[in-house]
Amino acid sequence: MSTNLGKLFEFMSLIGQLKRVKRTGWVLKNVTDPESVSDHMYRMAMLSFLVDPKTGINKDRCIKMSLVHDMAESIVGDLTPSDNVSKDEKFIREEKAMQHITSLVGDEASQEMISLWKEYETQSTAEARFVKDLDRFEMILQAAEYEQLDGRPKALQEFFDSTNGKFQSPQVKEWVEELKRIRQENHKNDKT
Ligand SMILES: Nc1nc2c(ncn2[C@H]2C[C@H](O)[C@@H](COP(=O)(O)O)O2)c(=O)[nH]1
Ligand SMILES: [Mn+2]
């Protein structure tokens, strides 16, 4: 197998690892059958399709950024705020991982993935800020679903508390309010 093909298959394997990296936040809360990092990124990519065209936010770039934003976790793992790893240290680890993963593919793909990842990490564009909103919204949506699935109302309140007030997109803010209304309704029904 030529070196290039060998590197491509190493890339494919590393990306495949994201299907097996469970999201640590759910593991720590003992939810049933916690999702993987790729599950999380997939729904974010699908939510990107819903971006309001009137915002001028580039939908395709959001889809790509969603699919790239946590790919370093195939090597670094899924670090949570409770892991006490500083933002700087987390960035250093993830940047090193991104350099390695993208070194396995051609220059064009490599530069695009690195550029998308850095744009997200630096929150330097409207697309990056929208995708960060999707990252937080997808997490609380998943938290509400786990509460329902596991019959543990409000068990994951901390995920809602830690994202409170951090959403910037009016569109996503509306989704957050609707999600909280549905969650409250479900909680009321659970009591009856
Ligand atoms: N227990 C908590 N875990 C949290 C919280 N906020 C995020 N997280 C978890 C969720 C993921 O497993 C990980 C980071 O996710 P990224 O998408 O940013 O890589 O941290 C929280 O408030 N409590
Ligand atoms: Mn994420």
Is the shortest distance between the CB of 23 and ligand 1 below 6 Å? yes
pLDDT at 1: 52
DSSP letter string over 67-130?
HHTTTTHHHH----GGG---HHHHHHHHHHHHHHHHHTS-HHHHHHHHHHHHHHHHT-SHHHHH
Closest CA to 17 of 132, 134, 100, 126: 100
pLDDT along the chain (192 residues), means of 10: 84 98 98 98 98 98 98 98 95 98 97 98 98 98 98 97 98 98 90 67
178, containing H or E segment:
helix 170-191
The complex's ipTM works out to: 0.95
pTM over 0.90: yes
pLDDT at 189: 79
Please name which ligand lies nearest the alpha carbon of 31. 1
Residue nearest to atom 15 of ligand 1 (CA): 80
In order of their start, the domains of the chain are 5-190 (1.10.3210.10)
Report in angstroms the alpha-carbon separations of 85 from 79, 91, 141, 162, 180: 8, 10, 25, 17, 30
Give me ligand 2 centre to Cα 101, in Å. 18
DSSP type of residue 57: -
Long-range contacts of 6-10 (CB under 8 A, 24+ apart): 7/103, 7/104, 7/105, 8/104, 8/105, 10/104
User: Which chain residues have CB less than 5 Å from ligand 2, an ion?
Assistant: 70, 135
139 Cα nearest atom in ligand 1: 10
Give me ligand 1 centre to Cα 160, in Å. 11
